[in-house]
Amino acid sequence: MKSNVRNAFNNNGFVLEYQPIVEVLSYRHIGKLLKNIFYKKAKDDLKYEVLVRMIDPQDPTKRISPGAFLPIIEEEKQNIQLTTRVIKLACEFMLVNSGNFSINMTAADLN
């Protein structure tokens, strides 16, 4: 798995998924709900959580969850590099798409 993670860094083997944040009871997109309550003048305030996945090297149609590759990333001291890449890609995406996003980070990312 370590060599797969190294290859993913060298070959753009990470992808981002944008998961809508929804209100559980109504399944309404939380951004729309908050816009109606707090931001009457906001044009479009959709909310997304940015999720990073690694492309499975054996089957490019499949994704590997962070639980499998993040421990290796942290062990190899590549977490800052991955976080920087995620933030850059998410910002590029949001420049051409409306909405807001959140990205989960570790304490090591903030040091």
Q: What does the pLDDT read at residue 13?
A: 92
Q: What pTM value is reported for the model?
A: 0.74
Nearest to 65 by CA among 54, 49, 80, 78: 54
Amino acid identity for residue 9 in this structure: F
Q: What does the pLDDT read at residue 42?
A: 40
Mean pLDDT of the chain: 79
In whole angstroms, how far apart are CA 79 and each of 17, 35, 76, 105, 108? 18, 34, 8, 9, 8
Q: Is the pLDDT of residue 98 over 80?
A: no
Strands 14-20, 47-55: pairing is antiparallel
Q: 25-68: per-residue pLDDT in tens? A: 665 655 544 444 443 334 456 778 888 999 999 999 999 999 99
**Burial of residue 69 (number of CB atoms within 10 Å: 0-12, 13-18, 19+):** buried
Q: What does the pLDDT read at residue 21?
A: 76
- The backbone region for 18, taken as left when phi is positive above 0, alpha when psi lies in -120 to 50, beta otherwise, is beta
